[in-house]
Structure 1
């Protein structure tokens, strides 16, 4: 065998050996199962109102989602800036007459459900409220100059309304 043929056979043997070693390794990595260890929680914000289930159970108010700039507070809190008055019926004495909110910015959003709302009040920020009544949606603006506005059955001849959205508009 010539020296050239020995070099070719030796090179082929090395390549075969490398292929024999790496092929099972490549095959095993290709078939490796996906990691099953739990990862960190998702960082996607759903804007759900914090503690909404607890507030519904304890205070009977349904707060759905928002951007954090309109927050429910006690009506005795001096930072109250938005008030929503509701009509209570017999047997609903445990419900408050008003729901109060603080505003922490020049814009804000809160989706909620407050049935039998009849009056809106604002102090520092103009607001826009969306109401539903008899299957129709209505939008009401309340400026800081006005300070308050009757809504739903608070308006003579108007039907009951459910407040479904509050927005700070300035």
Structure 2
């Protein structure tokens, strides 16, 4: 019986303490000042996977980088570094660093005709005149893609690069 009375007393004391604490102003707040509601808190950051600096890169180099997972990144070409090389007619060579176990990059690069692979398994998805096509890129060697692999030699736009270790 004594234990039950103690528990009842403890519960009642907790309830009273909770009421006083709920009514008490926050430290540093003026009495009667409104307290910030939950909807006044700053918004939660949401990752949209947009490629950083994409507009500047497009203006400077003509390649539109859209989004990705951060494991395939445009890089300055450096021979002997294991980069993926993408060759685009009239635009030159674009190099990409690959990291992690897998990667994904969405982009737009017109007139692509060859890709030099690295140690990763690569697949490039392209489009020509509204028709989609995919090419597997040989590891550490040249692979004809786009117009060089198309019997009609149409211009192809590179849309996605996928990598797997």
The whole-number CA distance in structure 1 between the counterparts of 2:118 and 2:126 is 20
- The alpha carbon displacement at 1:77 in A equals 6.1
Is the counterpart of residue 124 in structure 1 residue 119 in structure 2? yes
**Cα deviation 1:92-149 (Å, max 9, x = unaligned):** xxx4x1100000122000000000000011111110010000111001111316x221
Query: Could you say which residue in structure 2 is the equivalent of 1:104?
Result: 99
Residue pair 2:74, 2:97 contacting (<8 A) in 1 also: yes
Query: Could you say which residue in structure 2 is the equivalent of 1:72?
Result: 74
- 3-state DSSP of counterpart to 1:118: strand
Residue pair 1:112, 1:165 contacting (<8 A) in 2 also: yes
**Cα deviation 1:26-60 (Å, max 9, x = unaligned):** xxxxxx99677561x43221111111111111222
TM-score (norm 2): 0.71
The whole-number CA distance in structure 1 between the counterparts of 2:119 and 2:47 is 28
Residue pair 1:80, 1:100 contacting (<8 A) in 2 also: no
State the superposition RMSD in angstroms. Answer: 2.6
Query: Could you say which residue in structure 1 is the equivalent of 2:153?
Result: 158
Question: After alignment, is 65-74 or 154-163 more displaced?
Answer: 154-163
Residue pair 1:127, 1:167 contacting (<8 A) in 2 also: yes
Count how many residue pairs are aligned between Structure 1 and Structure 2: 133
Structure 1 segments unaligned to the other structure (5+ residues): 1-31, 89-94
The whole-number CA distance in structure 1 between the counterparts of 2:36 and 2:97 is 51
Query: Could you say which residue in structure 1 is the equivalent of 2:143?
Result: 149
1:13-162 → structure 2 map (5 Å cutoff)? 37=40, 39=42, 41-76=43-78, 78-88=80-90, 95=91, 97-144=92-139, 147-155=141-149, 156-162=151-157
Would you identify which runs of 4 or more consecutive aligned residues in structure 1 move more than 4 Å?
A: 32-38
TM-score (norm 1): 0.69
The whole-number CA distance in structure 1 between the counterparts of 2:118 and 2:38 is 54
